[in-house]
A and B are shown apart, each in its own frame.
Chain A
Amino acid sequence: MRRIASTPRAGWQQRLESQGFAFHTIDGEPYWREDVCYVFDEAQIDALEGATNELHALCLDAVDRVVRSSRYAELGLDERAATLIERSWWDREPALYGRMDLSYDGTSPPRLLEYNADTPTALFEAAVAQWYWLQDVAPEADQFNSIHEALVERWRMLPAASHVHFAACYESTEDALTCDYLIDTCMQAGHRTTSLDVEQIGWSGRDFIDLDDAPIERLFKLYPWEWMLAEPFSVHLPQTRLRWFEPAWKMVLSNKAILPLLWEFFPGHPNLLPASRRRADLEGAVVRKPYWGREGAGIMVLEPGQPESPAIEPCIYQALAPLPVFDGRHALVGSWVVGNSAVGIGMREDADRITRNTSCFVPHLFR
Chain B
Amino acid sequence: MGNHSKHSPSHELRPAGKPAPRRDASFHPLPPRNQKRSLAVPLLALGGATLVGLSMLGRGQDVQRNRYDSYEDCVHDYSSGQCQIDTSVNGGSYGGLHYYGPWYRSGGGGGKDDPGPGRALASGGRVGAIDGTAGPRGVELGTRGGFGSTGRVSARAS
B-binding residues in A (CB < 8 A): 17-20, 45, 49, 99, 116, 118-121, 124, 127-128, 131-132, 134, 142-149, 167-172, 174-178, 180-181, 183-184, 187-188, 195-206, 209, 211-213, 222-224, 227-228, 230-233, 236, 254, 294-295, 297, 344, 357, 366
Query: A120 touching B157 by the CB < 8 A rule?
Result: yes
Q: Which of A171, A196, A204, A212 has the largest number of chain B CB atoms within 10 A?
A: A204
Residue of chain A at shortest CB distance from B54: A170
Q: Which chain A residues lie closer than 8 Å to B143 at the CB level?
A: 202-203
Whole-angstrom distance between the Cβ of A59 and the nearest chain B Cβ: 15
Whole-angstrom distance between the Cβ of A193 and the nearest chain B Cβ: 9
Q: Is B35 an interface residue (CB 8 A)?
A: yes
What is the bound-complex CA distance between A27 and B78, given in angstroms? Answer: 52
Q: List 12 A-B contacts (CB under 8 A).
A: A120-B157, A142-B37, A146-B38, A149-B38, A175-B156, A180-B51, A199-B60, A199-B149, A201-B60, A203-B144, A213-B103, A233-B146
Whole-angstrom distance between the Cβ of A7 and the nearest chain B Cβ: 20
Q: Which of A144, A195, A200, A295 has the largest number of chain B CB atoms within 10 A?
A: A200
If the complex has contacts A172-B157, A205-B90, A213-B103, are A223 and B147 also in contact, measured as CB distance less than 8 A? Answer: yes
Q: How many of chain B's residues touch chain A, expressed as a range?
A: 35 or more
Q: Which chain A residues lie closer than 8 Å to B102 at the CB level?
A: 213
Q: Which chain B residues lie closer than 8 Å to A366 at the CB level?
A: 36
Q: Which chain A residues lie closer than 8 Å to B60 at the CB level?
A: 197, 199-202
Query: B37 touching A206 by the CB < 8 A rule?
Result: no
Whole-angstrom distance between the Cβ of B58 and the nearest chain A Cβ: 8
Provide the main secondary structure of the chain A interface.
mixed
Q: Is B3 an interface residue (CB 8 A)?
A: no
What is the bound-complex CA distance between A147 and B39, given in angstroms? Answer: 11
Q: Which chain A residues lie closer than 8 Å to B96 at the CB level?
A: none
Provide the main secondary structure of the chain B interface.
loop
What is the bound-complex CA distance between A189 and B67, given in angstroms? Answer: 39
Query: A169 touching B148 by the CB < 8 A rule?
Result: yes
Q: Which chain B residues lie closer than 8 Å to A211 at the CB level?
A: 57
Per-residue interface assignment for chain B, residues 33 to 51, with 1 indicating a CB less than 8 Å from any chain A CB and 0 otherwise: 0011111011111110001
If the complex has contacts A204-B63, A295-B157, are A223 and B151 also in contact, measured as CB distance less than 8 A? Answer: yes
What is the bound-complex CA distance between A171 and B58, given in angstroms? Answer: 11
Q: Which single member of A198, A254, A294 contacts B147 (CB below 8 Å)? A: A198
If the complex has contacts A201-B147, A202-B143, A205-B89, are A148 and B38 also in contact, measured as CB distance less than 8 A? Answer: yes
If the complex has contacts A116-B158, A148-B38, are A202 and B144 also in contact, measured as CB distance less than 8 A? Answer: yes
Give 8 closest A-B pairs by Cβ, nearest first: A205-B89, A233-B146, A213-B103, A199-B148, A121-B157, A227-B150, A20-B46, A198-B148
Query: B51 touching A183 by the CB < 8 A rule?
Result: yes
Q: Is B13 an interface residue (CB 8 A)?
A: no
Whole-angstrom distance between the Cβ of A264 and the nearest chain B Cβ: 23
A172-B157, A233-B147 given; 18 more Cβ-contact pairs under 8 Å: A20-B43, A45-B36, A99-B158, A127-B41, A131-B37, A169-B156, A171-B152, A180-B45, A188-B42, A198-B148, A201-B146, A201-B148, A205-B91, A209-B103, A212-B113, A223-B147, A232-B149, A233-B146
Query: A143 touching B36 by the CB < 8 A rule?
Result: yes
Query: B38 touching A118 by the CB < 8 A rule?
Result: no
Q: Is B59 an interface residue (CB 8 A)?
A: yes
Residue of chain A at shortest CB distance from B145: A199
Query: B47 touching A199 by the CB < 8 A rule?
Result: no
What is the bound-complex CA distance between A159 and B119, given in angstroms? Answer: 39
Q: Which single member of B41, B47, B113, B157 contacts A18 (CB below 8 Å)? A: B47
If the complex has contacts A145-B37, A213-B63, are A19 and B46 also in contact, measured as CB distance less than 8 A? Answer: yes
Residue of chain A at shortest CB distance from B58: A200
Q: Which single member of A177, A198, A357 contacts B155 (CB below 8 Å)? A: A357
Q: Which chain B residues lie closer than 8 Å to A344 at the CB level?
A: 36-37
If the complex has contacts A145-B36, A201-B60, are A180 and B146 also in contact, measured as CB distance less than 8 A? Answer: no
Residue of chain B at shortest CB distance from A120: B158
Query: B142 touching A202 by the CB < 8 A rule?
Result: yes
Interface residues of B in 4-59 (CB under 8 A from A): 35-39, 41-47, 51-52, 54-55, 57-59
What is the bound-complex CA distance between A188 and B158, given in angstroms? Answer: 25
Q: Which chain B residues lie closer than 8 Å to A132 at the CB level?
A: 41
Whole-angstrom distance between the Cβ of B155 and the nearest chain A Cβ: 5
Query: A198 touching B151 by the CB < 8 A rule?
Result: yes
Q: Which chain B residues lie closer than 8 Å to A178 at the CB level?
A: 157
What is the bound-complex CA distance between A99 and B157, given in angstroms? Answer: 11
Residue of chain B at shortest CB distance from A230: B150
